[in-house]
Structure 1
Amino acid sequence: MRLLRRAGRGAGLGLLHAAVVLAVYTALRFQTGAGRAGFVQDSSTNLDNLRRFPFRVLLLSAVVVPDTAGLLVLVPLVVALTASARWLGRLPTLVAFAFGHVGATLVVAVVLVAGLTHGRLDPAVAHAPDVGVSYGLACVVGLLAARVPRRLRVPYVLLPSAVLAAVLAAAPDPTALGHLVALLTGFCLAVLVRRGARAQLP
C-alpha cells in the first residue's frame, strides 16, 4: 500500500492533463470529419489565430491532439509531469510546462513572420494547424536534466538536442524548431533551479 501511495505521489497533474486531452479527443470522435478539422484549426496556434485569439489558442492548443497517433505522447507526458511535480511541486511544474509551450510557440511565430516578410515561406504557413502538448513536454524533460545523475547528464542533454537539431537541419520545419527551442528552454530552467538549490545550501 505504501508503495502504491509513493508511486502515485505527484501523479495528479500529469493524470489530470492527460484526462483533459483524452476527454477532448473523445468528444471530437463524435464530430464529423469537417467538425473535427474545424475544431483543431480553431485551436491551433497558427499566425492567424495568434493575431485574433492569442490567449484562447495558447490554452486550447495544449489540450488538443490532431489524431490518434498524438495520444502516444500522453505516456511520457504523465511520466515527466509526475517526476517534476514530485521534485518541485505542481505549480512550478505547471509554470515550466506553460513557459515551454508559450515560449516555443512565440519563437516559432516570430520566425514564421520573418520568413513571410522576406518572402521565404509559403503564405499557407500562416494557416497551418499546430496543436499538442509536445512543446510543454519538451521543456519539462529539459528541466528534469537537473535531476539526472552527473554521470548521465551529458548524454541526457546531448542526445535529444542532437536528434532535434538533426531533424531541423534535414527538414527545416517550424514544429521541429519549436521542439528544439522548448527543450533548450527546459535546460536553461534546469541550470537556474540547480543554482538556486546551491544558493540555499548553508
Structure 2
Amino acid sequence: MSPEFEQEFLRQRSTNIHELSNNPVRVLVQSAMWIDGAHWLPYAVLYTVFHAQAERWLGTLRWLTVCVAAHVLATLISEGALLRAVNEGMAPHSALNTLDIGVSYALAGVVAVLTYRIAEPWRYLYLAVVLGVYCLPLTSTPTFTDLGHFVSVLIGLGCYPLVRGRGRQWNPKETVAALRR
C-alpha cells in the first residue's frame, strides 16, 4: 500500500469518534485486526506470549471475553473522554478523526488478568510492574490511548470472576528450582 492509501485504509477501520459514530460495531471489530506498522514487532511478540498463556489457562471463551471486554470498554471510555475534551476545548476538533487501531487494549487486559495466574507473593511484584507500565504514561503527558490502556488493565483485573479456580497457579520459585536440577 502507498502511505496515503494505508492511512485512509486504517482511518476507515479506526475506533476514532467519527467512525464510532457512523458504524461502531464494524470499527470495533476491524480496528482490532490491524496494528500500527511502526510498532508491529513488539506487539506481535507480546501478543503471542501473553495471549497464548492466557488462552491455555482460561480456555478460548474466557480468554476471548477478556479480550473483547478490554478492547470494547476501554475504547468507548477513552474515546468518550476524548470527545469530552474536544467539546470542552481541551483538544482540537481534528482529534475526532485520530487514527486509533490495534490490539493493545486487549493485550493490556490480558496482561492484567494474568496477575491471577501467578502465585503469591510473586503476584504482587508482577502487578506492581503492570501498574507501573500502564500508570506511568498517565503521570506525564497523558493521551486518550494512555487512558485506554490503564482502563484495559482495570478491566482485566476486574475479570477475576472469570478466572477464579482455573487450576494451579504458576510459582516462579518452583520454575527456577526445576531449572537448577
TM-score category of the 2 structures, normalised to the smaller one:
0.7 to 0.9
For residue 130 of structure 1, the aligned residue among 95, 100, 121 is 100
- Structure 2 residue aligned with 1:37: 7
Unaligned runs of 5+ in 1: 1-30
Superposed CA deviations along residues 10-38 of structure 1, whole A, max 9, x for unmatched, are: xxxxxxxxxxxxxxxxxxxxx22211111
- Normalised TM-score (structure 1): 0.78
For residue 130 of structure 2, the aligned residue among 160, 171, 192 is 160
Q: Aligned-residue CA RMSD in angstroms?
A: 1.5
- Structure 1 residue aligned with 2:25: 55
Identity among equivalent positions (%) equals 31
The whole-number CA distance in structure 2 between the counterparts of 1:87 and 1:193 is 11
Cα offset, 1:69, TM superposition? 2.5
Cα offset, 1:96, TM superposition? 0.7
- Normalised TM-score (structure 2): 0.86
- Structure 2 residue aligned with 1:197: 165
Structure with the higher fraction of residues in helix conformation: 1
Q: Residue 120 of structure 1: SS of its match in structure 2?
A: coil
The whole-number CA distance in structure 2 between the counterparts of 1:183 and 1:137 is 9
The whole-number CA distance in structure 2 between the counterparts of 1:160 and 1:51 is 32
Report runs of 4+ in structure 1 exceeding 4 Å deviation.
none
Whether 1:108 and 2:78 are equivalent positions in the alignment is yes
- Structure 2 residue aligned with 1:170: 140
- Structure 2 residue aligned with 1:27: none
Whether 1:179 and 2:149 are equivalent positions in the alignment is yes
The whole-number CA distance in structure 1 between the counterparts of 2:42 and 2:135 is 22
Cα offset, 1:163, TM superposition? 2.9
The whole-number CA distance in structure 2 between the counterparts of 1:120 and 1:33 is 30
Whether 1:146 and 2:116 are equivalent positions in the alignment is yes
Amino acid at match of 1:154: Y
The whole-number CA distance in structure 2 between the counterparts of 1:197 and 1:63 is 31
The whole-number CA distance in structure 1 between the counterparts of 2:141 and 2:66 is 28
Cα offset, 1:193, TM superposition? 3.5
Q: Which has the higher contact order (CA 8 A, sep 6+)?
A: 2
- Structure 2 residue aligned with 1:84: 54
Whether 1:120 and 2:90 are equivalent positions in the alignment is yes
Superposed CA deviations along residues 144-192 of structure 1, whole A, max 9, x for unmatched, are: 11101111111111222123222111011111111111011111113x2
Superposed CA deviations along residues 66-109 of structure 1, whole A, max 9, x for unmatched, are: 21422321111111121111111111111110110011100111
Unaligned runs of 5+ in 2: 167-181
The whole-number CA distance in structure 2 between the counterparts of 1:144 and 1:72 is 19
The whole-number CA distance in structure 2 between the counterparts of 1:56 and 1:71 is 25
**Cα contact 1:65–1:71 (8 A) shared by 2:** no
Give matches, 1:16-27, under 5 Å.
none
Amino acid at match of 2:145: T
Amino acid at match of 1:197: G
